[in-house]
Structure 1
Amino acid sequence: MPSDDAAGPELVPVPVRVVLPADPLLGTDPQEVVARLWKRQQTETGWVYLVGLPSFRDREDGGVEAAEYRVWVRAPEHVRPVEGVDYDQVVTERLQPSPQSAVREVLGERRPSGWVLQKVSVGRGPAQGVLHARDCEEAPKDAPLLDWKRDLDVAENPATRLCTLCGCAQELTPLLRGFDHITDSATDDS
């Protein structure tokens, strides 16, 4: 069958091994048969392959003839390559990346959520610390992630400083002092 641009690329089958499921009622184990691979398609949940399994069909004159049963199967669970076969010629449809939202384009990738505490020792006084976003380059890499209640408790402690490098101070201060202080400080400067 010739290929034309409106119909898409020409399908050229190549051999592939298909793993048939076991049948507990018949007491059979999984089996592999050589089938024809017609097409590969990437989906959001993985790859599926259109394979043609050898079959039979009834003819109008009462006879039986060889046929092919085409079905989509999951890869790699249900297909295996045949040694020496070049699969580059198989029509392959890759999943197109979803367009980024306008918000994601403007703001960039979302940072991982959560905060970590960097403990700072200053001699014999009370323990002090610096609260960082977990992806802050100043944050200790082995520090445990704090849950949100512990975040606020630590942030309220006068011995804790909120990191300005990663934006911890800008994000947590409204939660600690309320949002009104933002507008109050803006009017005080005028």
Structure 2
Amino acid sequence: MTTTPADGPPVPVPVVVVLPDGQKLTARLWARRETPRGWLYEVGLPAYSNTEDGDVQAAEYRVWVRAPEHVRPVDGVAYDAVPTERLPAPSAVREVLGPRRPSGWVLQKVGGRRPGPAVLHAVDCTDAPQNAPQLSLERALDVAERPSTRLCSLCGAAQELDPMLRGFEQIENG
């Protein structure tokens, strides 16, 4: 949290930081950020550093800490001029579905024969071969249509590709 005097750059304001061992230090508050997991405050903790010629000088160590767990206000200090960033909240859809999986498909050849039996996996499947080339959706659908290709049920390749191969009616009528 900084204030900006009319004649110069922003000036940080004091804040109390609670260290992991319970000690409390007065630090300088530079900024705050609201994230989906809560507030973070960028604080400058007093420290010392060594110069190239071996001297010791006063320094500041900047770090982002959680608020209010690690930060306390100082009585009588106004924090309304501190630069504040509010990150957009995640959509309800993304919260329910979770992070998107990487796109792409990989083919695992079974028995080493060409064009013999194979298993089609999503690129992030734990059973997918590590160094197999990644297939586009169009190529994966071509491979999936072969009678010798099985779609992996562990990673959901079957649930994702079957509707595109056989039509969405089978889901509604099934």
Q: TM-score range by the shorter chain?
A: 0.5 to 0.7
Q: Superposition RMSD on alpha carbons, in Å? A: 3.3
CA spacing shift, 1:142–1:42, aligned 2, 3 Å: farther
Q: TM-score, with normalisation over the residues of structure 2?
A: 0.54
Query: What residue is the counterpart of 1:148 in the other structure?
Result: 137
Query: What residue is the counterpart of 1:128 in the other structure?
Result: 117
Question: Matched residues in 1 for 2:62 and 2:104: separation?
Answer: 44
Query: What residue is the counterpart of 2:93 in the other structure?
Result: 103
- What letter matches 2:120 in structure 1? L
Structure 2 regions of 5+ residues with no counterpart? 13-29, 34-56, 64-78
- 1:1-190 equivalences under 5 Å are 9=1, 11=3, 38=11, 84-86=58-60, 88=62, 93=83, 95-121=85-111, 126-184=115-173, 186=174
Q: TM-score, with normalisation over the residues of structure 1?
A: 0.50
Q: Percent identity?
A: 50
Q: CA deviation at 1:167?
A: 0.6
Count residues with an aligned counterpart: 115
- Aligned partners of 2:105 and 2:121 also within 8 Å: yes
Structure 1 regions of 5+ residues with no counterpart? 1-8, 14-34, 44-82
Q: Which has the larger radius of gyration?
A: 1
Question: Matched residues in 2 for 1:125 and 1:117: separation?
Answer: 12
Point out which structure has higher relative CO (alpha carbons under 8 A, 6+ apart): 2
- What letter matches 2:150 in structure 1? R
